[in-house]
Chain A
Amino acid sequence: MAQAALGPSRQWRRPPFIQNERIRWALWLGAAIYLAFAFGTLEVNWGRVVEGIPRGQRFLLSFFPPDFTSRLDSILEGIYESIWMTVTSTVVGVAISIPVGLGAARNLAPTPVYLFCRIVVAVSRTFPEVILAIFFVKVFGFGPFAGFLALSVATVGFYAKLLAEDIEDMDAAQAEAVRATGASWFQWLNSAVQPQVMPRMIGLAVYRVDINFRESAVVGIVGGGGIGATLLTSFDRYEFDSAAAILLIIIGIVMAMEYSSSWLRKWVQ
C-alpha cells in the first residue's frame, strides 16, 4: 500500500476476451469486409418495389372488413380440427418424450441408452414441422392424422431434449440424499428427480401446446388438415375477407394461450 501510494498509480484495463491483438483486429476486419460484400451483392430492383407497394396496399385492403360469417362452418371445423391436433399431439408427444428424455440425460442413463435417445432427439429435431407434415401426408394421405403425427414427432424432439437438459442440471445433492435412504430407482425418480424438474415440465408442455397450435396452421397448408387447410382454401378462392377472419381468430387464440401459459408457469414454480 505504502509503495503504491508513493509511485505512479497502476493502470487497470479489463483483460480482452481474445488475448492476441492481431487475431482480435483480424476478426473485426474480416466481419466488416464480409458484411460490406453481403450488402453490396444484395440486389434490389427498385422498379419492382415501387410497383409492389400499391399492389400490397390493394391486397391488404381486400382483407377488410374481415368476414366471419359466410364461411363460419368451415372455419369452426378447421378450428376444432386444429385444437384436436394440438391437444392429441402434445399429449402423445410428451408421453413419448418422458422416457426418451430420461434416457437422454447423461446423469441417469448408461451410455448406450444415452446415445440411442440422443439420436432419436437429434433426428426428430432435424426436420421442421412442415417437412414432417409433407412426409406424413405422402404416407398417410391428406387430413389431420398426418398433421397429428408430424406435430407429435416434432414435440418429441423439442420436449425430450429440454427435459433431458433440465434433468442434467438438477441438484445432485438432493438426488444423492434420496438414494442414500435405500430408495428403489423408480422411487428415487419420483421423490428426488421429478420434484426438481416438474415446474419446467409443465411450463414446457404448455409452451408446446402454444407452438403446436401455431404449427397446426402451417401443417394444414401442406395438407395436414386443421385451420391451415381452411386458410389455404380461402386464399385459393380469393376470399381474403374470410382469410382475415381466420388470421384474427388464430391471433386471438395464440394470445389467450400466451397469457394463460405465463400465468400457469408462475403458479407452478
Chain B
Amino acid sequence: MLSLRNLDKQYKTGDRALKSISLEVPKGQVMALIGPSGAGKSTLIRCVNRLVEPTSGSVRLGDMELTSLGAGGLRRARRRMGMIFQEYALVERLTVMENVQSGRLGYVGFWRSFLRRYPQSDVDEAFRLLERVGLDDMVDKRADELSGGQRQRVGIARALIQDPDLLLVDEPTASLDPKTSRQIMRLICELCEERELAAIINIHDVMLAQMFAQRIVGLQLGEIVYDGPPDGLSAEVLTQIYGEEDWEATIRKADDDEPPSSVSHGPRGVRREEDVLSGI
C-alpha cells in the first residue's frame, strides 16, 4: 500500500530529520509511530503527502511514485491520503459542514466550493460520516464552538470524506483528556477496519499505542530503532527509543482489562457503540 525507500530529509538548518527510512505499510494496517519529540515523526508523515518535501528517497502509494509528481499530480495524490492533526486544525470560523466539505476540495471545482454549492452526493456522505462520528446535530455549529473531542471527530470526518486509501494521523490525542483520547483512538481504528484503510498514527502515549495499533514503529533521531508487534515493547526497547527511565509502569501487562491477543486483526478493545458516543 505505502512504501518508503531510503527516505531522507535534511532541513535548511542542517538538521537531518530522517535518515534513510525504509518502511512498508500494507493495506488495512494501523501502525503507531512512537518516539521522543524531535525524533522525526511529524516530518515522516508530512514527507508522505509532501507538506514537507523529502530530500531524497522514494515514497510509493500503491504503484504511484509521489516524490516526482508535479503540482496537479500531487493534488490528485493528496486526495487519497486523509490527514488528522494535533489540535484538530479545523478552520475555526467555518461551520462543521464546511470543514467536512473541505475534505472534498480536491474533487470539486473552485466555484462550487466558493459558493458552497456542494454536490448532493458529498452532502449525503458528510451527513453519513457526521452521524457515524456522533455529530449529526452539530452541522451548522462553528468549529470553534465545539469541545476538543468533538473537534477531533470533525477532523476525522474531514479526512474520511476524501475517501482515502491511507490515513496520516499526527498526535490525534495530544490535547484530549484520557477518556476522550481512548474514544478517539478507538473511533479511528474502527473506521480503518471498516474501510480497510492503512494508517500511520504518530503518538506520544505509549500505552494508547499498544492498546490500539497492530504494529509499532519506534523512531529515534530519524532512524527506526524498533519495528514489531505491540507486545514486543520491553523496557530495553523503550530505553532504546526514549532513553533511560523506569518503564515498568508504562508497559502494558498481558493480563490487563483488554487481552492483547484476543483480536487477531483490526484494532484492539473495540467496545460498544454507546461508549464511543458517550461523554463527548
Enumerate chain A interface residues (CB-CB to B < 8 A). 171, 173-174, 176-184, 186-188, 190-192, 195-196, 198-199
Contacts and interface: CB of A to CB of B under 8 A. Distances in A.
Contacts of B155: 177
B242 interface: no
Given A190-B114, A195-B91, A176 B106 contact: no
Contacts of B49: 180
A186 B110 CA distance: 7
Given A178-B102, A181-B162, A184-B75, 11 more contacts: A171-B89, A173-B89, A176-B51, A180-B78, A181-B105, A183-B113, A184-B110, A188-B105, A191-B91, A191-B105, A195-B91
B268 interface: no
Contacts of B231: none
Contacts of B83: 177, 180-181
Nearest to B77: A182
Interface in B57-84: 74-79, 81, 83
A179 to B, nearest CB: 7
A199 B92 CA distance: 12
A187 to B, nearest CB: 5
Interface range, B side? 20 to 34
Interface of B: 49, 51, 74-79, 81, 83, 85-87, 89-94, 98, 102-107, 110, 113-114, 155, 158, 162, 168
A182 B93 contact: no
B51 A182 contact: no
B105 A180 contact: no
Contacts of B74: 182
B110 A182 contact: no
A183 B110 CA distance: 9
Contacts of B158: 177, 181
B51 A179 contact: yes
B51 A187 contact: no
A176 B83 CA distance: 10
B75 A192 contact: no
Contacts of A198: 93
A169 to B, nearest CB: 14
A181 B78 contact: yes
A235 B16 CA distance: 72
B105 A195 contact: no
Query: Which 5 pairs show the lowest CB-CB distances between chains A and B?
Result: A182-B106, A183-B105, A182-B78, A177-B89, A173-B89
Contacts of B107: 182
Contacts of A186: 110
B94 A181 contact: no
Given A181-B78, A183-B106, A191-B102, A174 B114 contact: no
A184 B103 CA distance: 12
Contacts of A173: 85-87, 89
A197 B74 CA distance: 27
Nearest to B101: A191
Nearest to A191: B102
17 contacts: A173-B89, A174-B89, A174-B90, A174-B92, A176-B85, A177-B83, A177-B155, A181-B78, A181-B102, A181-B158, A182-B76, A182-B77, A182-B79, A183-B106, A190-B110, A192-B91, A195-B92
A159 to B, nearest CB: 20
A186 B112 CA distance: 12
Nearest to B106: A182
Contact of B105 (A176, A187, A196): A187
A99 to B, nearest CB: 17
Nearest to A190: B114
A187 B79 contact: no
Contacts of A196: 91-93
Contacts of B77: 182
B105 A184 contact: yes
B60 to A, nearest CB: 18
B174 to A, nearest CB: 12
A188 B78 CA distance: 14
A187 B89 contact: no
A190 B91 CA distance: 11
Nearest to B76: A182
Contact of B102 (A176, A183, A199): A183
Nearest to B161: A181
